[in-house]
Structure 1
Amino acid sequence: MVRMPPSGKRPTTPFTPRDFQLVLLRRMADHHPELVEDARRELGASAADMREANRRWQAMLRSPRSRPAASLYRSVLGPPESEGKRTIGDLECAVWQWPVPLWPDLRFEVLVAPDGVVWNEWLVRAPEAAAPALRTVEDLTPWSCTVDEAARAFAPARPLEGTAPTRFGLTFRAPDAQGVRREVVAEFTWGLLQRTAVGEPVRQ
Structure 2
Amino acid sequence: MAAMTTPAPFGPRDFQLVLLRRMADHQPGLVEDARRELGASAAEMREANRRWQAMCRSRSPRGGLARYRSVLGPPESSVRRRVGDLESEAHRWPVPLWPGLRFEVTATVPGGAVWNEWLVRAEGEPAPVLRTADDLTPWSCTADEAARAFAPATPMEGSAPTRLRLSLTLPGERRAVAEFSWGLLQRLL
Identify the TM-score tier after normalising by the shorter chain: over 0.9
The letter for the 2-side match of 1:161 is E
The letter for the 2-side match of 1:64 is R
Answering whether residue 43 of structure 2 is matched by residue 63 of structure 1, we say no
- Structure 2: how far apart are the matches of 1:47 and 1:182? 39
- Structure 2, unpaired ranges of 5+: none
- Structure 1: how far apart are the matches of 2:56 and 2:160? 16
2:179 is matched with 187
Which portions of structure 1, spanning 4 or more consecutive aligned residues, are displaced by more than 4 angstroms?
none
Show CA shifts across 1:164-192 (max 9, x none): 110001002202xxxx4421101100000
Shift of 1:66: 5.1
Mapping for residues 1-204 of structure 1, pairs under 5 Å = 10-65=5-60, 67-114=62-109, 115-175=111-171, 180-197=172-189
Shift of 1:196: 0.8
Contact 1:166–1:189 under 8 Å retained in 2? yes
TM-score (norm 1): 0.88
Aligned pairs, how many?
187
- Structure 2: how far apart are the matches of 1:84 and 1:181? 36
Shift of 1:10: 3.2
The letter for the 1-side match of 2:175 is E
- Aligned-pair identity in percent equals 67
Query: What CA RMSD, in Å, does the superposition of the two structures yield over aligned residues?
Result: 1.3
Show CA shifts across 1:147-170 (max 9, x none): 100000011100001111100010
